[in-house]
């Protein structure tokens, strides 16, 4: 799979974020979901998951990167994402190598050379559909969506299983963020219609595709992710659909400008 060179622009949280949080109703989760408890995330190895790694950036000269920890990220995952050791991250940040890191925490990643998307593939037969969403916002990250959905009463925070970033808020353009719901293999809170919260994998792209299109990197990451998930869970192409195409869903999501023809071509390409 080809690697893509992308930048990681740093943008501050602006009033746009606030405006978007207030407009989440445009495409937010449609049902509150309250689990009996909040179990810890199983380690991929312990849960029998496969770990897929794919380069998002081409290797560069080693340089330090400041990473803001996303929802339920672990030192182990960060080490894999940046191609460095857990011990090196722990030593640089004066924490133990089995420390629990917290959302929003800033960690220096020493001598990072590239960035890899990480996707865990779990055994099981729950997932029979893939539902594509947009955030209906200019900017976003899993952390921002997680906090916004949590504030709206969604006890597990971010309702999607994956978020594909657009380069805002310090995230990479085309970066795939796994949400806690995916890591814990929990129902989503992204599309109540058709029982899709239970049987559909929810993937959201940051952007508002009622007025613009996803970036080429976002589209490539989406195609790669869908191909990987549909192969693993044996999901046929007619069960890969936009939120708006689920019977009973009353929404424009993922927007009238979402490039379905281009995505479908990518999915059938070898």
Instruction: Rank residues 69 and 241 by Cβ distance to Zn ion and give the closer one.
Output: 241
Residue span 120-159 as binding mask against Zn ion, x where in contact by CB under 5 A, dash where not: -------------x--------------------------
Strands (E), 75-123: 106-112, 116-121
3 burial via Cβ count (<10 Å: 0-12, 13-18, 19+) = middle
Residue 243 in the binding site for Zn ion (CB under 5 A): yes
Kindly state the helix (H) or strand (E) to which residue 173 belongs, with its residue range: strand 173-178
Identity of the residue, 192 or 232, whose beta carbon is nearer to Zn ion in the bound complex? 192
- Among the listed ranges 81-89, 95-103, 227-235, 236-244, the one in contact with Zn ion (CB under 5 A) is 236-244
Q: Which is nearer to Zn ion, 68 or 245 (CB)?
A: 245
Range 190-217 burial, b when 16+ CB lie within 10 A, else e = bbbbbebbebbbbbbbbbbbbeeebbeb
Closest separation in Å from C-beta 253 to Zn ion: 3
Total of chain residues touching Zn ion, rule CB under 5 A: 4
Interface with Zn ion by CB under 5 A: which range of 59-67, 135-143, 192-200, 242-250?
242-250
What is the nearest approach in angstroms of Zn ion to the Cβ of residue 219?
A: 17
Instruction: Name the one range near Zn ion by CB under 5 A: 10-18, 39-47, 78-86, 240-248.
Output: 240-248
Q: Which distant-in-sequence residues (6+ apart) come within 8 Å of 216 by Cβ?
A: none
Query: In this complex, which beta carbon is closest to Zn ion, that of residue 101 or of residue 196?
Result: 196
* C-alpha–C-alpha distance, residues 219 and 100, integer Å: 33
CB of 74 or CB of 251, closer to Zn ion: 251
Stretch that binds Zn ion, among 27-35, 74-82, 219-227, 232-240 (CB under 5 A): 27-35
Closest to Zn ion by CB, 57 or 166:
166
116 touches Zn ion by CB under 5 A: no
Interaction of residue 244 with Zn ion, rule CB under 5 A:
no
> Cα-flanking dihedrals φ and ψ of residue 79, to 5°?
-60, -40
Give 54 or 245: the residue with its C-beta nearer to Zn ion. 245
Q: Can you tell me the distance from the alpha carbon of 247 to that of 249, in angstroms, rounded to the nearest whole number?
A: 6
Figure out which of the listed residues 27, 112, 169, 235 binds Zn ion, where binding follows CB under 5 A.
27
Residues 6 or more apart whose Cβ sits within 8 Å of residue 136: 20, 23, 24, 26, 27, 208, 210, 253, 255
- Phi and psi at 133, nearest 5°, equal -130, 165
Of 233, 253, 255, 258, which one interacts with Zn ion (CB under 5 A)?
Answer: 253
- 68: part of which helix (H) or strand (E)? strand 63-68
89, 175 in Cβ contact below 8 A? no
In the chain, what are the helix, strand and coil shares in percent, each to the nearest 5?
A: 30, 20, 50
> In the complex, which residues of this chain contact Zn ion (CB under 5 A)?
27, 133, 243, 253
């Amino acid at each position: 799979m080809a690697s893509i060179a992308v930048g990681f622009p740093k943008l501050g949280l602006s009033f746009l974020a606030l405006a978007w949080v207030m407009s989440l109703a445009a495409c937010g989760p449609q049902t509150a979901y309250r689990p009996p408890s909040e179990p810890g995330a199983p380690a991929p190895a312990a849960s029998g998951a496969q770990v897929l790694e794919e380069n998002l950036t081409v290797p560069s000269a080693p340089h330090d990167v400041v990473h803001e920890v996303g929802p339920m990220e672990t030192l182990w995952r960060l080490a894999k994402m940046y191609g460095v050791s857990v011990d090196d991250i722990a030593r640089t940040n004066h924490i133990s190598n089995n420390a629990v890191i917290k959302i929003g925490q800033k960690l220096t990643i020493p001598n990072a050379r590239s960035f890899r998307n990480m996707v865990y593939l779990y055994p099981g037969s729950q997932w029979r559909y893939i539902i594509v969403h947009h955030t209906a916002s200019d900017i976003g990250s899993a952390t921002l969506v997680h906090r916004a959905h949590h504030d709206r009463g969604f006890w597990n925070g971010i309702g999607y299983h994956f978020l594909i970033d657009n380069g805002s808020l310090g995230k990479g353009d085309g970066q795939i963020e796994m949400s806690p719901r995916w890591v814990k293999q929990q129902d989503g809170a992204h599309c109540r219609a058709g029982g899709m919260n239970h049987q559909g994998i929810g993937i959201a792209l940051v952007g508002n595709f009622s007025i613009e299109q996803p970036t080429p990197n976002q589209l490539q990451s989406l195609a790669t992710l869908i191909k990987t998930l549909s192969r693993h869970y044996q999901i046929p192409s007619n069960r890969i659909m936009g939120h708006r195409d689920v019977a009973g869903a009353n929404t424009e999501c993922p927007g009238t400008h979402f490039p379905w023809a281009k995505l479908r071509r990518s999915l059938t390409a070898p």
